[in-house]
Amino acid sequence: MKPIAVFRHAATEGPGYFATFIEQRGLPWRLIAIDEGAAVPASCADFAGLVFMGGPMSVNDDLPWIAPVLDLIRDAVAADVPVLGHCLGGQLLAKALGAAVTRNAVKEIGWGEVRVLEQPLARQWLGEVTAFPAFHWHGETFAVPAGATRILASDHCANQAYVLGPHLGMQCHVEMTETMIRSWCEVGAAEVAEAGGPAVQSPAAMLAQAPAELPRMRAVADRLYGRWLEGVRR
Q: What is the pLDDT along the chain (234 residues), one digit of tens a residue?
A: 999 999 999 999 999 999 999 999 999 999 999 999 999 999 999 999 999 999 999 999 999 999 999 999 999 999 999 999 999 999 999 999 999 999 999 999 999 999 999 999 999 999 999 999 999 999 999 999 999 999 999 999 999 999 999 999 999 999 999 999 999 999 999 999 999 899 999 999 999 999 999 999 999 999 999 999 999 988
User: What residue numbers bound the domain in which 73 lies?
Assistant: 4-229
Q: Rounded to an integer, what distance in angstroms lies between the CA atom of residue 110 and that of residue 18?
A: 19
Q: Evaluate whether 141 touches 60 at the Cβ level (below 8 Å).
A: no
We report the CATH number of the domain holding residue 13 as 3.40.50.880
When divided into structural domains, the chain yields a total of: 1
Q: Rounded to an integer, what distance in angstroms lies between the CA atom of residue 167 and that of residue 188?
A: 30
Tell me what pLDDT residue 196 has.
86
Q: Evaluate whether 99 touches 143 at the Cβ level (below 8 Å).
A: yes
Instruction: State the DSSP string of 50-118.
Output: EEE---SS-TTS--TTHHHHHHHHHHHHHTT--EEEETHHHHHHHHHTT--EEEEEEEEEEEEEEEEPS
Is the residue at 234 inside a domain?
no
